[in-house]
Structure 1
Amino acid sequence: MARANDEAAALIQELADLLSITGGDAFKIRAYEKAARAIAGYPEDVSGLNLTGLKKIPAVGEAIAKKLVDYNETGTIRQVEELRAQVPSSVRALTAIPTLGPKKALLLYQRLGVATVDELEAALDEGRLHGLKGFGPKSEENIRHGIELLRQTGDRVLIGTAAALADEIVAALAPLAERITHAGSLRRMRETIGDVDVLAASADPRPLMEAFTALPFVTEVIAGGDKKTSVRTYRGPQVDLRVVPPESWGAALQYFTGSQAHNIRTREIAVKAKLKLSEYGLFTASGELIVSETEEEVYERLGMPWIPPALREDGGEIEAALADALPDLVTVEHIKGDLHTHTDLTDGRATLEEMVRTAAERGLAYYAVTDHAPDLAMHQMTDAKMLAQRERIRALQKEYPDLAILHGSELNIGPDGSVDWDADFLSGFDMCVASVHSHFNQDQAEMTRRFITACENPHVHVIGHPTARLIGRRAPVDADWDEVFRAAARTGTAMEVNCFPDRLDLPADLIRRALRFGVKFSIDTDAHSVADQRNIRFGVGTAQRGWLTPDDVINTWPLPRLREFLAAKKG
């Protein structure tokens, strides 16, 4: 993606945020937010487009296109600059706290003079929010939790941001290296990434290091050398490039991929065998090299099969490997379908035809279109619109005989567990996903009943993004997950592993808990655009961290087996 797209999208999103603070029109704010996502994902460089070209970007109309022209000509957007002058930067910083909305942030600044996260925390501790209109005990509890979430994330970035950066660096440097890939927490598919680690093999590291520091998105060289160079980028994360001799590739990749705890365990095994393990190889006590060229050789010499990177967290993988009991993990290649996607009929940014064509190009065997149902009123869904879409799907099916197009909907799970539409209307869908989109602060007992009721609905096949979290922005809902998973297993309701980088929901720890109850899963992109369908790798990575096999995941199954699963739920 071109840098201009990132900057323009950030300005449009900032415009939406500033309007939220100053009391702008809610419809206009949503339009800006939607346009920002579309600009960030648009394949063409917006800096080279005129007004006509900019209006071809999904969700970008005349008014927003003119703002982008303003950006192309001046490097900023005048309306953003005007609003920045009205809203103190401290208030904008406070809006980064999950659960604290922009209007409340402004109120805290105006009434209490609170201008930083630390000052807000101090105000909470001193009881200065007591009696302030709109800030009851529950609000205070939510703000404290939001501050905790913000600090947990810190300077880390979402995996999608880190992966895009790493992919671009690897592609740029590949011609100069014998081998190159990303390592570290990104290769382990962690939800958030601190530093991006790139590992290369070359007998002559200097050309690699020079090319690395000259990349256009590098803003500062922190440290340089022939073995390791560290830089900062305008996209946020620090990137460390390590170059090792080609003959040390396997040992280095093993060393720089595993978590600290995993690496301690592998080194302990080596020590017990009177060996020494480092990034340069596995050596005898006298310093004689035994193996180093491949990861497989290193693990094999330690008495284990190769351990998939996503498992290298010291979460039982060492014991499983020593017992030859590692799971045969699900991979992207196992995925045969996508069971949760959207089009521009609701909040998607691509047409039905564009989304289906992309699914066919992915080589999928089946693809479900699941636009939102009417209880989310902002999407203005009606029975007539949904039935008309069904007819379009039937016509489109003739163009794609090798791709079964399923018609579904993403239902809204209400506070009492009910969903949109009655049983008769729901029976016309091939399948339905049901998700929580509101009332996130229900207590544990209420939320647990809510999920169980949804699972017991015979027309609900998948619970979408079950914890409803947004990483770094919204905390997971509070439920007795063991009870929810028991209900899901009993009713034959799959739990989704949502592929959006800011969701990755269910998270890996809950996947492993659900697995013990016999729950099945669906790894879905929840795609709202053509580009979103590429997020499948992040959901698969999360599923791997949860130790899932293809048999655990319903959209790895052949279509006949999937249809049996869906039919069994309806009885």
Structure 2
Amino acid sequence: MSRANDRVEALLREYAELIAISGQDPFKARAYEKAARAIGGHPTDIAQLDAKGLTEIPHVGRSIADKVLEYLRTGRIPEVDASREAVPAGVRELTRIPGLGPRKALVLHRELGISSVEELEEALRGEKLRDLKGFGERTEEGIRHGIGLLRQAGDRILLDAATELAEEIVAELSRIPGCVRCTYAGSLRRMRETIGDLDVLVAADTSEPFMEALTALPSTAEVIAHGAKKTSVRTASGVQVDLRVLPPASWGAGLQYFTGSKAHNIRTRELAVRHGLKLSEYGLFDAETGENLASETEEDVYARLGLPWIPPALREDRGEIAAALRGELPELLTERDIRGDLHTHTDLTDGLASLEDMAAAAAARGYAYYAVTDHAPDLAMQRMTKEKALAQRERLRALDRTIRGMRLLHGTELNIGPDGGLDWPDDFLAGFDLCIASVHSHFGQSREAMTSRIIRACENPYVAVLGHPTTRRIGIRPGVDADFDAVFAACARTGTALEVNAHPERLDLSDEDILRAKRHGVKFAVNTDAHATVHLPYLRYGVGTAQRGWLTKDDVVNAWPWGRLHRFLREKHHR
């Protein structure tokens, strides 16, 4: 089951949204948002805390703590239930559209009676939004784009939620006597950024105990189909899980088949036919005699096809078969290759943990170096100042002397202004070990202005990394409109690394953008953008995305030894 922290975070976020939609005090909505973030990022299971322990979590006052305790005791919060009833369901549906905030959704409902995405599309076709205050042609275009993103996402879930659920199920099924092997396959094994349904495989001689166990799991809300070879269920969160039990001797063939992708499997079957073979989930067979030539491991199956084992992240029919035949598959970046995290935050700005706690958590991960990059002053709500930054640097330098085996870097995440300017002058930036620059506002600029803005920031000699380059938040906000090929070329020219932001809501750059950027000869940095100690393990999702973009450890600056990374940072200053 998911952590109580995660469930409470989701509920408080929903409550904050309901408060905003209904036009109540915006400070109250913000308070619940902050409390939700703090609880979600708290390292201790809040189910073990009393009221005093809860109020020790930042941004959690006694009133919120009481509501949390009531939820943990009863599974409900009456105020949330009342807010749900007060807000029309159609308005909440509209807020699912990326880029359409709660206030605009409420205006659409009150002024035009719109209570569904379909009604909104009809209003857009009739150009009915343009006369509303705060709306216009650009707003209409943004809403159309948001609806497209919503349709594209469908019922898919983020990579971290899918991983957590799949690992829980695999752990439960692996305990059952007779289980030889168990894992997840499908798009999750390929590390796609969103997942439609989960494919779980078991190798065993008898299927019934596993099929029964899946239907009896606490997370199972509905049994869709129950059979000897396949059982499908739907979880309480609406995710479909398909379980297949394979004979142990067919494990490799089944794992290869059910991992996909469909396009990759078509290529491997075509290759099998050219060799006079037939490939299925049960094995690789001689087409004439029916003899099973390979099935027990994926390596055996690929080898019999004349191929090396192809990592799941590459199996998208993007040239991996041809590269494998030429012996040119990349040696992909792994999580073990990452030597440090170069983008993290503390409670000095919008993080949830202290400098000391974040550094200790990073050291526990075995990093050789670790950067703290709190926000700069142009993100006004964080209230950063030069004085605070310098005081943090002193604390960091003192702490650095006490941590053995890990170098602490003092950095900053700068805000790229509408004209490409940065928060601090160059003479102050020169004192930081590392500067990241990111777009945090003015997302609706024209393509030309946005492109020029980002390139200007990359041309600053102290900007080493372009943070979450497209600014997208999956299913929430589309990326900005910019000529990213021009941006990638500028990064290559200026020696600015492109971030692969590992937060599951971002995964920015995406795998397709990574592939484009790599052709320009840029370098990358795979960072977590962690705002709490529990966010540091997000690195796995960034690495998975980097793998899908065919990156090696040579492509990624924070997979380099400190000496090489240090030279990279210094060389940027002198370009």
* TM-score under structure 2 length normalisation: 0.97
Q: The residue matched to 2:253 in structure 1 has which SS?
A: helix
Q: Tell me the amino acid that sits aligned with residue 117 of structure 1.
A: V
* CA-CA distance at 1:35 after TM superposition: 2.1
Q: Tell me the amino acid that sits aligned with residue 283 of structure 2.
A: G
Task: Map residues 70-219 of structure 1 onto 2, 5 A cutoff.
Answer: 70-176=70-176, 177-219=179-221
Task: Map residues 41-52 of structure 1 onto 2, 5 A cutoff.
Answer: 41-42=41-42, 44-52=44-52
Q: The residue matched to 2:243 in structure 1 has which SS?
A: strand
Matched, 1:400 2:408: no
Q: The residue matched to 1:483 in structure 2 has which SS?
A: helix
Partner in structure 2 of residue 375 of structure 1: 378
Task: Map residues 275-290 of structure 1 onto 2, 5 A cutoff.
Answer: 275-285=277-287, 286-290=289-293
Task: Map residues 287-436 of structure 1 onto 2, 5 A cutoff.
Answer: 287-436=290-439
Matched, 1:523 2:521: no
Partner in structure 1 of residue 40 of structure 2: 40
Q: Say if 2:42 and 2:532, in contact at 8 Å, map to a contact too.
A: no
Hey, what's the Cα distance between the residues in 2 that align with 1:221 and 1:123?
39
Q: The residue matched to 2:175 in structure 1 has which SS?
A: helix
* CA-CA distance at 1:43 after TM superposition: 5.1
Hey, what's the Cα distance between the residues in 2 that align with 1:95 and 1:548?
36
Hey, what's the Cα distance between the residues in 1 that align with 2:311 and 2:73?
49
Q: Say if 1:58 and 1:350, in contact at 8 Å, map to a contact too.
A: no
* CA-CA distance at 1:305 after TM superposition: 0.7
Q: Say if 2:41 and 2:531, in contact at 8 Å, map to a contact too.
A: no
Hey, what's the Cα distance between the residues in 1 that align with 2:355 and 2:377?
19
* CA-CA distance at 1:133 after TM superposition: 1.3
Task: Map residues 472-551 of structure 1 onto 2, 5 A cutoff.
Answer: 472-551=475-554
Q: The residue matched to 1:133 in structure 2 has which SS?
A: coil
Among 217, 242, 256, the residue aligned to 1:240:
242
Hey, what's the Cα distance between the residues in 2 that align with 1:448 and 1:106?
33
Among 269, 272, 284, the residue aligned to 1:270:
272
Q: Deviations over 1:45-74 (max 9, x none)?
A: 544532123224444232211221232344
Q: Say if 1:59 and 1:349, in contact at 8 Å, map to a contact too.
A: no
Hey, what's the Cα distance between the residues in 2 that align with 1:498 and 1:118?
34
* CA-CA distance at 1:44 after TM superposition: 4.7
Q: Say if 1:11 and 1:76, in contact at 8 Å, map to a contact too.
A: no
Q: Deviations over 1:452-491 (max 9, x none)?
A: 1011001110000000001111111111111111110011
Question: Number of paired residues?
Answer: 571
Q: Say if 1:512 and 1:546, in contact at 8 Å, map to a contact too.
A: yes
Q: Tell me the amino acid that sits aligned with residue 184 of structure 2.
A: H
* CA-CA distance at 1:167 after TM superposition: 1.0
Aligned-pair RMSD on alpha carbons?
1.4
Q: Deviations over 1:124-152 (max 9, x none)?
A: 11122131111110001001111101110
Partner in structure 1 of residue 233 of structure 2: 231
Hey, what's the Cα distance between the residues in 1 that align with 2:408 and 2:62?
34
Task: Map residues 437-456 of structure 1 onto 2, 5 A cutoff.
Answer: 437-456=440-459
Q: Tell me the amino acid that sits aligned with residue 307 of structure 2.
A: M
* CA-CA distance at 1:235 after TM superposition: 2.6
Quickly say closer, same or farther: Cα 1:389–1:416, change in 2 above 3 A. same
Hey, what's the Cα distance between the residues in 2 that align with 1:536 and 1:146?
28
Hey, what's the Cα distance between the residues in 2 that align with 1:56 and 1:222?
44
% identical equivalent positions: 63
Q: Say if 1:373 and 1:381, in contact at 8 Å, map to a contact too.
A: yes
Hey, what's the Cα distance between the residues in 1 that align with 2:323 and 2:21?
52
Partner in structure 1 of residue 257 of structure 2: 255
* CA-CA distance at 1:243 after TM superposition: 1.1
